[in-house]
Structure 1
Amino acid sequence: MKPINNIDEEEKKFKIRSYGKSELAAMYMPDISPKSAGEVLRRWIVKYPGLSEALAATGLGDTDKRYTPAQVRLIVEAIGEPEG
């Protein structure tokens, strides 16, 4: 049986999966509104060299409401895992 501390660490580990755009943004910035968090995350994506282009190459469109696991992986590789 695993110690409780190991279970807690596994539960806290960020998982690469499909996320709603606001959902992922709120994980990075839990202390602001989801709408504001989404705007900040979009600015981060634009500022990170090549990230917008890499996301577009996966088929991400302006009107998409969710990120695919591949898109989430690109974002996390660029800006790190959310701590929230």
Structure 2
Amino acid sequence: MIKTAEEFKIRAYTKVELACLYNPHMTIPGALRTLARWIAGNSQLTAELSVLEYNHRNRIYTPRQVKVIVDHLGEP
């Protein structure tokens, strides 16, 4: 069987990497804004990320933060 896309792995991702995985056809700034809006618009996701010491100024998501994001938004 031929795989056309790699399987998504829970690991540390930079904001740019994760945003571009969720929005591959957007520019980097557009993908970052869109992901930030999705996170900010989901109060339950925001609450869970705050417990994990998420700060919107951080440039890297930890594996635990990525898992929470994927749990709420689905796999990219």
Shared fold, TM over 0.5: yes
Q: Distance in 1 between matches of 2:8 and 2:69?
A: 13
Residue aligning to 1:19: 13
Q: Distance in 1 between matches of 2:65 and 2:56?
A: 13
The structure with more helix, counted as a fraction of residues: 1
Note the C-alpha offset of 1:14: 0.3
Let me know the Cα RMSD of the aligned residues: 1.6
Note the C-alpha offset of 1:49: 3.4
Which residue, out of 23, 27, 30, partners 1:33?
Answer: 27
**Count of matched residue pairs:** 76
Q: Distance in 2 between matches of 1:49 and 1:61?
A: 14
Residue aligning to 1:57: 51
Gaps of 5+ in 2: none
Runs of 4+ with >6 A deviation: none
- The percentage of aligned residue pairs carrying the same residue is 37
Tell me which structure has the larger Cα radius of gyration.
Answer: 1
